[in-house]
Structure 1
Amino acid sequence: MINEIRDSILFINPDNNNESIIFNLKSWIRIIEAIIEKYANKTYEESRNMVLSSSLIKNLDLKNYHDLTFYSHETEYHWAMMIAYGNLYWKKGINSDEPEDFSEWENKFRKDHNLAEESFVFNELH
């Protein structure tokens, strides 16, 4: 359960103390909301409510390094489409490929809204 939505949350791999992830949760949630707004044609309020009430967010365990790595294996675009259109959205005719302009749009949105450049930053500690 999420108590505080912020960026720069550090997770250290309990199986290997030399590996860590910095999770930019605030940026991750905001970019997913924005993707739903732009590519699923929802309002900010609709996308915000969809994201915050989704099982993706409700089941997010911010104490478990291994669970967090699961979320990092999919793109924000994938999570947004799953929230907007449901599981297996690609079988409903929704393209699972990011639109052609996606990377440019995402980079600009992150910069314009002072979001982290990446939602997940993997590090090896020394």
Structure 2
Amino acid sequence: MVRDGLVFKDEDGQVIFNQYSFCELVKHLLVELVGISYAEASQTVERSPLAAPVADALGVAVFSHDLPYYWAMSFYYGNGYWWEKGIPAQPEDMDAYEALENKIMEKYHLKEPFIWI
């Protein structure tokens, strides 16, 4: 079961991983950007590595390396979606994308997914 407030430490510091919020953000991005239902988005994310237990800060770093957009597109369209399907690898309008992320996070009371300390 995913939850927020997971704390991992390593030699570089610590990270708070809000895994529930991260998964919910990706689900809502799937709904908004792909047009699938929330139920389908939930199934997609729950079957993905995002919903699996995370063991350490390195595991969190793997998820934080890419935008939630990447995870949403990759889980729905498959790895290599940008060259196989012609879908942009990154959002074409970053300001609009960031506004969408912020809107989703505010509307659903989600926490910042990664807090590096």
Q: Same fold (TM over 0.5)?
A: yes
* 2:115 equivalent to 1:111: no
Aligned to 2:29: 35
* 2:86 equivalent to 1:93: yes
* 2:14 equivalent to 1:20: yes
Aligned to 1:120: 114
- d(CA) in 2 for partners of 1:76, 1:43: 18
Structure 1 portions without partners, runs of 5+: none
Deviation at 1:41, TM superposition (A): 1.0
- d(CA) in 1 for partners of 2:92, 2:116: 26
Amino acid at match of 1:89: Y
Contact 2:26–2:68 under 8 Å retained in 1: yes
- d(CA) in 2 for partners of 1:97, 1:64: 27
- d(CA) in 1 for partners of 2:110, 2:31: 17
Structure 2 portions without partners, runs of 5+: none
* 2:41 equivalent to 1:47: yes
Query: When the two structures are superposed, what TM-score results if normalisation uses the length of structure 2?
Result: 0.90
| Residue aligned with 1:21, SS | strand
* Identical amino acids, percent of aligned pairs: 27
Larger-gyration structure (1/2): 1
Deviation at 1:43, TM superposition (A): 0.4
Contact 1:7–1:25 under 8 Å retained in 2: yes
Provide runs of 4+ in structure 1 moved above 3 Å.
none
Amino acid at match of 1:53: R
Contact 1:61–1:68 under 8 Å retained in 2: no
Amino acid at match of 1:94: I
- d(CA) in 2 for partners of 1:5, 1:57: 9
Aligned to 1:74: 66
- Two-structure CA RMSD over aligned residues (Å): 1.4
Contact 2:2–2:53 under 8 Å retained in 1: no
